[in-house]
Structures are given as structure tokens and as C-alpha cells.
Structure 1
Amino acid sequence: MYIIIIGGGKVGYYLAKTLAPEHHKLVLVDEDYDLCKKLASELSGSGIDLLYGDGTNTYLMKDAGIEKADMLIAVTGYDQNNLVACQLAKKYFAVPHTIARVNNPKNINVFKRLGVDSVVSSTARIAEIIGKEVDWTDINRVLMEKVGDVRIREVSVAEGSLAEGKNIAEIGLPKGTIIASVIRKNKIIVPNGQTQLLAGDDIIVVANEDGIEHIYDYFSKR
């Protein structure tokens, strides 16, 4: 199988090392340059390809060979990055199977509703979920990291709301709040600060636990 792993931290590293003996084609992607240099040394001769860059970048994913990938596994420490990486893989490149690690179990249902094939919480056993696709040993021990306080909400932009017609950068969202994805007429948009929000857009908002409830003030009708 051709498998792309997003996230070269402890989870991604040991996951790649576990899968390598099974003779899969493996590509490990991480955006931390220093970490990639370290991994390049540690993984030398393992047959695992290492790619430095953002796993949510379309062009980088083409370089990783995503168009021929059988599976993408996103296991970074950030739920929003894992979600967007899986959305890109599924919606833009038709990757047959996507798996996302969820640091906060409260986000599991959101990930599932947005099309991630398999969602693994930090206390789950990933081998049980993808066992039918990959024959490999139990790696539950690498998925026991601390659950974070990230929250994800799916919110619709209401007509007449503060956000309608504005670019994301103009809205003035609270510090630490990120719009990870915009869904418009069944098309997924990976936004930036200049992305304009329209009434009817469904957006995926990521924020810490303290700030997540305030997002409705921006997107609900005044």
C-alpha cells in the first residue's frame, strides 16, 4: 500500500517505524525543519521517504504522491491540521481511506460528519480501525498522549451576521481562533485571511475551550 503520514512527532514516527517492516510505500511529512533533519538521520535506510513541508498544502501533497496514495493518516498534535489534511486527501485527491488522530475526543463526531473515514482518539487503538487495510502490530502505546483543550465547531454564516461579506482577516476573531475550512455549495475551501465569507457558508472553527462559545456572536444573525 502507498501510505502518507502527516506529522513526524512521536506518534507519526513510531507509526512509520511500525509500518515499515510490512513493505508498504511510506511517506512521512512534517513542517518542522529541525525535526525533519533529525528524522532523516534516524530513518536513514528504513525505506521511509521524508518530506519537509505543510501537510495541508495541495502542491506539497502532490509532491508526496497523494494522487496514487491508498491511505492518508494525519497524526499531528493539532486537530484542525489533521482535519484539513484528511479533507484535502478525500475531496481533492480521492484517497480511498483517511485516518485522523483526534487529540480531543469531543471533536470525533465533527470529524466523522466531515467525511474522515476513521477517527482515532488519543486513547483508542488505531490498529483495530485500520486492521482490515493493513496487517500490522498493535501500536496503542504511541497514542496515549495528553488530550488538549482544542474545540471544533461547525457554524453557518447567517445573512446579516457580522461575518457576512467580510474577509476572514477583517472579522477580528478572538486570539487563538482559526477558521480551518469553508464549505460552500459542497466545495471545500482551505481559507486564508483574504477569503471572503458569504451567507450560507458552513465553516469549521477551531478555538480553545474558553473562546469557542463566542464564535456565534460573529456568525449568527444580529
Structure 2
Amino acid sequence: MKVAIAGAGAVGRSIARELVRNNHEVMLLERKLDHVEPAAVPQAQWVHADACELSLLEAAGLENYDVVIAATGDDKVNLVLSLLATTEFGVPRVVARVNDPRNEWLFDESWGVDVAVSTPRMLAALVEEAVTVGDLVRLMTLRKGANLVEITLPDTTALAGKPVRKLQLPRDAALVTILRGERVIVPQPDDPLEGGDELLFVASQDVEDELRAAVGL
């Protein structure tokens, strides 16, 4: 997979190293010349370019990339790049970093963003996930209004012992994983549920109340 990352700061470089380690082809775009340090991630292609300049993105061949990651420290730049990547270059997948949580509402498909990653939101969600039992916790917003959400079943849940197929889920919700202790379970229709199970769903925001009802919350 070919991935272009805008912003070669600590975040961009860390993402690049991880992707290179997983055998992906990576290009790092950096506006500040003193931040262009090929030795920091030698396996990546480094390009000195402003990610908001259409001509420079054309020269970099952005249309040839499968994913664009807007990882700069400036939300305005990340939004502009996301829009250009989608509308001008037809990049299939755009992931954007949200620096200021107050701007999170802007990072949606109208700006070309498939997945918005907000560090404060993610940290808060992880804290909630660790301590919340018997309620829905939104872990991440995915594309087109779908969310990755988690529900931890109470020890006294009425679902204990019942098979997964007994869950009457709303139309736009899917159970993707059950976390049980150290086990990661790909749910099958006849798998029994237990109190304390952490259920991970992909669900439309519109059906979250129905999802709560389906698991007895």
C-alpha cells in the first residue's frame, strides 16, 4: 500500500516508521526545510512541499497513493489537504489528525475526511472504556457517520449464557469482536455471552440508543 503523510514532526515520523515496518511504501511531505531529515526515516521518500499547494501535490504524484494521512499540527492545513486529496486526486482513503477538539465537528466527509483522529477524544474514550460498565462508549469515529463503540456487559446481565444470535441488533450495527479476559473472540452465532464481556460494535450514530436497548441497557 502507498501512503502519503503530510507533516514530518514527531507524529508523522512515528506513523511513517510503523507503516514502513509493515512493508508499506511511504512518502513524507514536510513544509519546513529544517524538518526534512531523511535519516530519521530512511526507508521513506521525503518531499519538501507545502501540503496545501496543488501544484506541489501534483508534482509529488499524490493521485498514485492509496491513503493520505494529514498529520500536521495545523487543523486548517489538515482540512485543506483532506479536501484536495479527495476532490482533486481521488485518493481512496483520507485520515486526518485533529489537534484542537473544538474543531472536530469540521472533520467529516464534507471536507474529504474518512477517519478523524483526535488524541484528546481517544484518550478520554480509553479512560471511559476502562472504567465504564453497562453503558456505550464511543471509541472512534469512522467514515460516513459510523462509529466504533464498546459496551461492557455487567456481571448480572440478562444476556449471560445466551448465544450471540439472540442479540436483536438494529439494522446499521454489527458486533465485530468480543473481548473476554485475554481472549479476542470473533463472534459466531452460537457463541454464548458472559457477564464482563467487552462487546465492540461498528454502528451508525443514529442507532446507538437502539443498540443500548438491544443489550439491555
User: Which TM-score band applies after superposition, normalised by the shorter structure?
Assistant: 0.5 to 0.7
Query: 1:186-205, aligned counterparts within 5 Å?
Result: none
In structure 2, how many angstroms separate the alpha carbons of the residues matched to 1:95 and 1:62? 12
1:104, 1:122 within 8 Å by CA — same for their partners in 2? no
Bigger relative contact order, structure 1 or 2, given CA contacts below 8 A and separation 6+? 1
SS at match of 2:107: helix
Q: Give 2:38's aligned residue.
A: 40
2:38, 2:46 within 8 Å by CA — same for their partners in 1? yes
Give the Å deviation of 1:20.
0.5
Q: Give 2:87's aligned residue.
A: 91
Q: Give 1:53's aligned residue.
A: 49
Whether 2:119 is the aligned partner of 1:122: answer yes
1:3/1:84 CA distance change after superposition, 3 Å: same
- Deviation per CA, 1:75-120, whole angstroms, max 9, x where unpaired? 1010000000010000111101111101111212212143311111
Q: Give the aligned length.
A: 126
Q: Give 1:63's aligned residue.
A: 59
Whether 2:99 is the aligned partner of 1:106: answer no
SS at match of 1:84: helix
Q: Give 1:207's aligned residue.
A: none
| TM-score of the two chains, using structure 2 as the length reference | 0.54
Whether 2:6 is the aligned partner of 1:13: answer no
Match of 2:78 among 59, 70, 82: 82
- For the pair shown, the structure with the greater C-alpha radius of gyration is 2
1:27/1:105 CA distance change after superposition, 3 Å: same
1:27, 1:49 within 8 Å by CA — same for their partners in 2? yes
Give the Å deviation of 1:22.
1.2
1:4, 1:64 within 8 Å by CA — same for their partners in 2? no
Give the Å deviation of 1:42.
2.2
SS at match of 1:62: helix
Whether 2:23 is the aligned partner of 1:23: answer yes
Gaps in structure 2 of 5+ consecutive residues:
123-138, 143-217
1:51, 1:64 within 8 Å by CA — same for their partners in 2? yes
- Paired-residue identity, %: 34
Q: Give 1:203's aligned residue.
A: none
